[in-house]
Amino acid sequence: MEGDIFHILNRGVEKRKIFLRQKDYLRFVHNLYDFNNADNVFLSYYNRRGQHNYRTNYGTARSVEQLVDVLGWALVANHFHLLVHERVDGGSGVYTQKITGGYTLHFNNENERCGVLFQGRSKIIPVTKERYFLHLPYYILANVIKRIEPNWKEQGIKNFKKVIDYLENYKWSAFQDLIGKSNFPFVINKELFYEFFDTDEKRFKKEFINWLNDYNPTEVRDP
């Protein structure tokens, strides 16, 4: 496997909410796609400021060289998780700075505020252990479950159907695309994901449910 894998995460300063409206989520997802190149983040932001139909660029694949392959992502009210495969040396760091910097510009402009939004530098954790790597996609997507079953990690899932239905209808993660329901298809590199994790869109949902059944927090601790 060529290229390094990184788990990237950050939360709002003082654990504040960083997504207040649907268009905030859309802007961040747009950043995941649009900033995956060597262009200047500030130029990109100001050229597109005021454009809220962020899906318009997702219809065709891009031709520019990407910094990373996005393998997984999930957004909740006060934090985000990404799983990326680095395509160029140092690309994960540049990519993270661009998406958080660009989003901070958007958030501060929309809410007439200034200053930092995120809690320090993002964690960019190299994934070097196979066990950690194999559990990460499930762990990242499962972050969303706390919205409907806050204690699932300690007490297990009480209603699997409710949880899976919720994930299948939750727009702000890679889950829909990975099970074959087109959501933001050009954000994530599905083919590479399936290759790395030896799965496909028909099997992934079942494998995710199995992972939830067997959840072990020690498998996904930061290495």
CATH code, 57: 3.30.70.1290
User: Do 119 and 14 fall into the same domain?
Assistant: yes
Q: What share of the chain is helix, strand, coil (3-state, %, to 5)?
A: 50, 15, 35
Rounded Cα gap, residues 192 and 194, in angstroms: 5
In this prediction, residue 64 has a pLDDT band, given cuts at 50, 70 and 90, of confident
Query: What proportion of the chain, given as a percentage, has pLDDT over 70?
Result: 85
41, HSE (Cβ side, Cα atoms, 13 Å): 20
State which residues form the domain around 102. Answer: 5-126
**Residues 134 and 201 both lie in one domain:** yes
Do 164 and 178 sit in the same domain of this protein? yes
For residues 135 and 39, state if they share a domain: no
Q: Residue 94 has what pLDDT?
A: 96
Residues 43 and 99 in one domain: yes
162: which residues sit within 8 A by CB, 6+ positions away? Answer: 148
* Same-domain status, 111 and 158: no
pLDDT bracket for residue 56 (50, 70, 90): very low
156, 105: one domain: no
Segment 117-170, tens digit of pLDDT? 999 999 999 999 988 999 999 999 999 999 999 999 988 899 999 999 999 999
Q: What is the pTM of this model?
A: 0.88
Count of domains for the chain: 2
Q: In sequence order, what are the residues at sequence separation of 6 or more whose Cβ sits closer than 8 angstroms to the Cβ of residue 117? A: 12, 13, 18, 100, 103, 104, 107, 108
Inter-axis angle of helices 41-48 and 91-111, nearest 10: 40
pLDDT at 3: 62
